[in-house]
Each structure stands twice: as C-alpha cells, then as structure tokens.
Amino acid sequence: MKKLQSFIPAFIFFLLPVIMQAQSEPTAVAVHGKLAVKGNTIVDEHGATTQLRGMSFFWSQWMGQYYTTDAVKWLKEDWNCNVIRAVMGIEAGGYLNHPEREKQKIITVIDEAIRQGIYVIIDWHDHHAQNHVKEAKAFFAEMAQRYGDKPNVLYELYNEPVNVPWLTVIKPYHEAVIDTIRHYDADNIILCGTPNWSQDVDIASHDPIKGANIAYTLHFYANTHKQALRDKATLALKNGVALFLTEYGTTDASGNGFVNKEETRTWWKFMDDHKISWCNWSIGDKNESSSSLKTGVLIKGKLANTQLTESGNFVRDELRLKNPQAK
C-alpha cells in the first residue's frame, strides 16, 4: 500500500505537463482572431492568409435534434472543425412560421461555438430571400447587436438564390441587409449568395458589392459540379473577389448518388491551392448519401466510426488530417 501511495503522486506529477498542455492548447479564434477580406483571400488579424474547414448543419426545422452544445463540442474535439455553419431554415415550416423556436436553435449553436473558440457562420438558409427582406434585416440586426463584438461570427445572407438575376435582385437584397448589419457590426465578414444556387460567382465578381470584408459563396456537389464550376471560381478570384465554400457535398446535387471521392479530392486540392475555406453538407441523419450520420444516430459525446456514413467518415478523415488539433 505504501508503495502504491508513493507511486500515485509521482504518476500525477509525470502527467501534469500533458494535462497543462491540453488545457492551454489555443483555439482557432485565439490563434487567428478577427478575420478580414484582403483582395481575394481571407486573412486573420495578423494578416496571414487563413483557410477554415468544418461542417454545415442541416436545415434547422428538420434536424433540430443536432442543434446542441454536445454536437458543437464533438465537431470541434473529434472532427477538428474550426468553423461550423448554423443553418436556419426560413421557409417550409422554418423561421417564417416559428421565428423564436428556430432562432433559439441557432443561438444555442453560436453560443457554444464561441465558448469552444471556433468560428460560426450564421446562415439565412433561404432560396427566396428577396421576398423576405424585412424579416432578414430584423434577424441580422438582432444577431449583429448580440454578436457583433465577437470575432467568431460570420454572416451568410442568402443561402442559394435560384433563378433571379444578380444585378437587379440579389445584389440589392445583399446591400439592404449589409447596411443593417453594419449599423451594429462594422467589420465581421459578410458572405453573399450568388446566382444559380450559389454557383455563378463569376457573375457576381463582375459587379461586386462595395464595402469591406465581403466574400461570395460558392456551392458544389462532387458528382454534379466539376471543372466548369472550378473555372468560374478561378475567374472570380482573378477578378479580385474572395470566396467561401459554405456548402458542398461529396455526392449528387440531390444529396444522393455515390460518394465521389476522386472528384471531392480534386475540389479539396483546388480549395487548398487557393486557400478557400469550406463547410461540408451536412450534420444530419437524413437517409441520403450526403448525410454524415446514419439514421437514428444522436450526438451524445464521441461516436463510433460505424455510426457515421461513408461520406461522414471520408470528410472527418480530411478534417482531422488538415486541421490542427483543437484549433
């Protein structure tokens, strides 16, 4: 017994540096601070080009069970996400019908992301946002007042415009909401949706929005969108705008089809080469190929690999490989 008692303090003393190091490991926000747009790149507060990688949640009204503190902690600690995307569904039983319910889900995720020291995109997940300008302005005014002093936050104003023009519909919508946000938050990055399901970034780049710290969203699904879309992105970058890939899937644009690992890797290389940040679609258990979780799986601490889908394991491996631990 005496030998055991003398061994315990020595054992604790040996582990102390390891424990202290784990506790003091800097978070992504501690390392990079407030982000900004400089030319066609996103930079941190030190001026260094910064690429974030993480996961997008699913529509809040349909996958609300994942809008939890446990899910955010798991994505940071197990997947090494340094950014997450909080997806507030607007139509189809979402915010327009239940504003307080859906808003609270988003707030839960944002607050935990801030506690965990990672970045969070506040996404107005709408296909017809030009019809909901009043609601969008009110929502983002509240978010900017609540979180405008936090370096963690990015605002995504319009998930995926459909068949409406940039110049006369999408751009004026963005300008109206940006003006509201900037009244309360002068400098956090604002992400602007682009025509044709956020694919025609080249069109937006020919007539960009005036103002600082504005980037443009690009979305792809690996089985559907290939080199032609990368060419559009390359042109937009040459035109001097910054891109953020706030949503992509490893599958067809439908969310189904096989997991196209070869084409996804091509996209990953493209994004790495150009330092484009990204979020994968999605954290949810819908019975489709792009989901990360198998049907019925809930997030209550660490999950086994067998509880993840093929796409989930594939993307998780990339995040753990590319993102620094706990950052």
Q: Which amino acid is at 246?
A: T
Residues 6+ apart with CB under 8 A from 184: 141, 144, 145, 148
Residue 191 and residue 106: Cα distance in Å, rounded? 17
- Is residue 233 within 8 Å of residue 270, measured between CB atoms? yes
Q: Could you tell me which of 95, 125, 189 has the C-alpha nearest to residue 151?
A: 189
Which of 108, 45, 52 has its CA nearest to residue 80?
Answer: 52
Q: Are 292 and 61 in contact (CB under 8 A)?
A: no
Residues 262, 248 contacting (CB under 8 angstroms): no
The whole-angstrom distance between residue 253's C-alpha and the CA centroid of its chain comes to 18
Question: Using alpha carbons only, how large is the chain's radius of gyration in Å?
Answer: 20
Residue (of 285, 290, 295, 297) closest to 314 by Cα position: 290
Residues with a catalytic annotation lie at 160, 247
DSSP code, position 152: T
Residue burial 48-73, b: 16+ Cβ < 10 Å; e: rest: eebbbbbbbbbbbbebbebbbeebbb
List residues bridging with 153 in a β-sheet. Answer: 120
